[in-house]
Amino acid sequence: MPLVRLYLPCSLAVPRRWWMVSLLIVLLAGCATRDTALNERLDDTQGLSMERALILSHAQQSLGTPYRFGGNSPDGLDCSGLVEMVYQAAGIKVPRTANQQFRQLPAVDAPRPGDLLFFGSRQKATHVGIYRGQGQMIHAPGRGREVVSVPLDIDYWQQRFLGAASPAR
């Protein structure tokens, strides 16, 4: 790779070293800023498998999709259809309904990003969402609404939480 030469007017020949150092500092400062922003984005997915990263990516792409009972496509989704579509895009087959997913998938004590969260009564899981991390869940809430991300620290979710499952590695 050829060296880039800086040609400065003769009146600036003496402080050429100063200009070179200043230019280098500006360039390195710009790189540091970009690296810091990149590192902040990567912190959210650090330590995730490729499957989990794909699950979260597809779930986030589904935000804003309209709710449709029985839906499992970008045209419309119900809660378990969202899970089915997102996991299928990551190459993982899951059962179709929230209760089947709850009963058949491997349970975990502490959910990680990309895991499934189940809600309902003690007898049956009636709702499922995808754990986004940092106390957030992506889910299809119901008729007349769209796929959204919500905080999990509200009483509604706490009182109905049944457990978590992890079909992803």
Q: Examine the domain organization and report whether 16 and 61 are in the same domain.
A: no
Q: Examine the domain organization and report whether 158 and 119 are in the same domain.
A: yes
Q: Examine the domain organization and report whether 32 and 67 are in the same domain.
A: no
Q: Band of the pLDDT at 135, cuts 50, 70, 90?
A: very high
Query: Which helix (H) or strand (E) is 162 found in, with range?
Result: strand 161-165
- Which token pair is 78? 């119900």
Residue-range definition of the domain harbouring residue 16:
11-43
Q: Yes or no: say if 106 and 165 are a contact pair by the CB < 8 Å rule.
A: yes
CATH code at 108?
Answer: 3.90.1720.10
pLDDT, averaged across the chain: 81
Q: What is the pLDDT of residue 138?
A: 98
pLDDT in tens, 82-110: 999 999 999 999 999 999 999 999 999 99
Beta strands in 32-79, from DSSP E residues, in sequence order: 72-73, 76-77
Q: Which residue has the higher pLDDT, 14 or 119?
A: 119
Please give the angle made by the CA atoms of 85, 89 and 93, to the nearest 5 degrees: 70
Its pTM surpasses 0.85: no
Structural domain contains residue 90: yes
Q: Average pLDDT in the 115-122 region?
A: 95
Q: What is the pLDDT of residue 18?
A: 42
Q: What is the pLDDT of residue 35?
A: 37
Q: Average pLDDT in the 109-123 region?
A: 94
Closest C-alpha to 120, from 68, 62, 152, 161: 161
Q: Examine the domain organization and report whether 35 and 55 are in the same domain.
A: no
Question: How many structural domains compose the chain?
Answer: 2
Q: What is the pLDDT of residue 4?
A: 40
26-35, 41-50, 62-71, 110-119 — which is least confidently predicted? 26-35
Structural domain contains residue 4: no
Q: Examine the domain organization and report whether 30 and 87 are in the same domain.
A: no
